[in-house]
Amino acid sequence: MAKKIFIHLPKNAGSSIKRFRPIADSIRFIDHKHLLSANYHDRFLAKMREIKEARGAGHARWRDIAEQLTSSHQCFAVARNPWDRVVSRYCFAKLVIRQPHTKWTEEYADTSSLESFLEERHKWGGQEFLWFRAIKGWFNQLEHVVNNDGEVACDILRFENLNVDIKKYFNITQDIKAHNVTNMEGPKKILRGESYMKEYTPATIQIVADWYKNDIDHWGFDFDTGATKNYWNVDR
């Protein structure tokens, strides 16, 4: 079976997929060597230096990858409930800032509350190349998986049903394990369904609904569901 390219959206099960041995020989992961051009990589690095950010390129969009790869490989990605994903990014930011000897200070992101973190979207939202970053990236998930014509170019697996979807997609029987989980109950505890929901108020629910409207409309997310349409399903 030809290798598939994994389009790694930040906080969408990428660490779990990278460490999942049963599919290790079936996946190609992206780094700076696979970007569109040397010029593109230089511009990306210049932006990261400007805002004093990390310089890893593993979260490249489909459109950032050299055409010789995207034209010869099927790509896949994982889509996640936007409300859940925002809380995961918020908790990840808190974790990064609180780690001993970290270079990131409290000025890196306002994590004093979920409401404050959501306000960061006005500072960083829409800035070029920030789709590469987990904390400062405020793009809809569709941004990562569409081609230059705006059409979805990746097979989409559901974060909330990843164990089922990945078994079918790769025709395997082994269960995938969660890694690098960040949520309100602590970074080493597996997400317990409703935990992210408890962090929201009616106002913040609506903020996320408005900001990620494109994702919600395309994949049929509700506040408490994973994607309900436009995902890969062998049984369709």
Tens-of-pLDDT digits for all 236 residues of the chain? 689 999 999 999 988 999 899 999 999 999 999 999 999 999 999 999 999 998 999 999 999 999 999 999 999 999 999 999 999 999 999 988 887 666 667 778 999 999 999 999 999 999 999 999 999 999 999 999 999 999 999 999 999 999 999 999 999 999 998 765 555 444 444 344 458 999 999 999 999 999 999 999 999 999 999 999 999 986 65
Does 126 map to a domain? yes
Domain count, the chain: 1
* 198 three-class SS: helix
Does 224 map to a domain? no
Q: List the Cα angle 61/62/66 in 5-degree steps.
A: 110
Among 154, 125, 151, 150, residue whose Cα is nearest residue 137 = 125
Does 230 map to a domain? no
4 close to 28: Cβ distance less than 8 angstroms: yes
CA 68 and chain centroid, separation = 24
Q: List the Cα angle 83/20/102 in 5-degree steps.
A: 60
**Which range marks the domain in which residue 39 is found?**
4-219
Does 197 map to a domain? yes
Does 132 map to a domain? yes
Here the CATH number for the domain that contains residue 8 is 3.40.50
Does 108 map to a domain? yes
DSSP label of 129: T
